[in-house]
Amino acid sequence: MKNVQQTIQFLQSLATDLAANAISHKIVSKNFAAQGFTKLAEKYAAHYAEEMAFVDQFYDRILDLDGEIKHEAAPSFQTPTDVEAYFQYDLQQSVDGLPVLEEAINAGFFDITTLDLMKEYYKDEEEDLNWTKAQLDLIALIGKQNYLATMI
């Protein structure tokens, strides 16, 4: 087995950060629903559930490795309520996070099972990044008001 302690520490850190990001998606889902953007609200509610499923998988893997799950504090932040501002915020989260994940995957300290999980998570995050980029491109192409009209 590869470096178990380093793997546990990485998974714990990732789970903490992802849980915080998932809560951000839950909050923005509620905000978008309150603004009448039903499609976006549903998208981000599903995104929240998907991310929490990964948190569960990370916790399960920590336990499989005989590690201890910790409840760590995550930094507080203000979730933008404006759709375009939130997309830009969410895109930046992905742009900042994917290289960290890629570096860990390429570092070689994961065992095969954890490596497979990390690759699955990376692929999911890359899809999220591409979706967010596409939404921003669509806003630029058709205008914010036209875009928002399609999200009701």
The CATH number of residue 89's host domain is 1.20.1260.10
**pTM to 2 decimal places:** 0.95
Whether pLDDT at 11 is above 80 = yes
Residue 109 is predicted with a pLDDT of: 94
Structural domains of the chain, count: 1
What's the rounded Cα separation, in Å, for the pair 130 and 128?
A: 5
Contacts of 32 (CB under 8 A, 6+ apart): 38, 40, 41, 44, 83, 151
Residue 77: what are its φ and ψ, rounded to 5°? Answer: -155, 160
Q: What's the average model confidence in pLDDT over 47-67? A: 98
Residue 68 is encoded by which pair of tokens? Answer: 């201890």
Domain span holding position 75: 4-150
